[in-house]
Homo-oligomer: A and B are copies of this chain.
């Protein structure tokens, strides 16, 4: 029975990895749709989000069934509960990729992002994808040490997030208010995507070590003092 149970846990872990791959892929495609004003690709990303949602539902049902059938306690139970939380994080990454695609669709045939911002969003997308894929590897390997690395990568995301605001607030900015609104929302989507990847990794640390790694610090990443709005313009 134990052995079957641990096989089940492994299947769930594989599905989390698959979720991380699908969400990273969705962000890659959404960003391509955004920066290339590609309506067809945007539509694909939007409709394919249902696959991510379905995989997450399947994963959650399996995890809940495992709790009901195996009645695990202690570490095994925590692992299943944590799986439910990680699936929520990774599914939310997919939603955020869909948001990027929806903005691309909304502005088509105009490109929502232009000028200096193009390169910043390309970098945000690459970093966020890499972080999401890495979070899957960390889950798969139960690699508690990987979380610190992911938090460092999140500092890069924060820097890029601030860079977006720096560009918008330059006296030379002539993109207008609509483009500033779009860039603000987009930057927030990419930043939150990365936050969820960090969150997955921190949950692995908890599972492996039983200690919350800087939970407070992680929560404070989604704030306005550091990565949020720049102090310029006060």
Contact = CB atoms under 8 A, between A and B. Distances in A.
Q: Which of A64, A78, A106 has the most CB of B within 10 A?
A: A106
Contacts of A188: 185, 188
A95 B231 contact: no
Nearest to A222: B95
**Count of this chain's copies in the oligomeric assembly:** 2
Contact of A102 (B74, B81, B225): B225
- Chain A interface helix/strand/loop/mixed: helix
Contacts of A95: 219, 222
A77 B73 contact: no
B102 A228 contact: yes
Contact of A106 (B72, B73, B102, B224): B224
A107 B232 CA distance: 10
Contacts of A102: 223-225, 228
* Size bracket, chain A contacts: 35 or more
Nearest to A183: B181
Contacts of A43: none
Contacts of A228: 99, 102-103, 106, 185
A103 B223 CA distance: 9
A234 B74 contact: no
B224 A99 contact: yes
B182 A180 contact: no
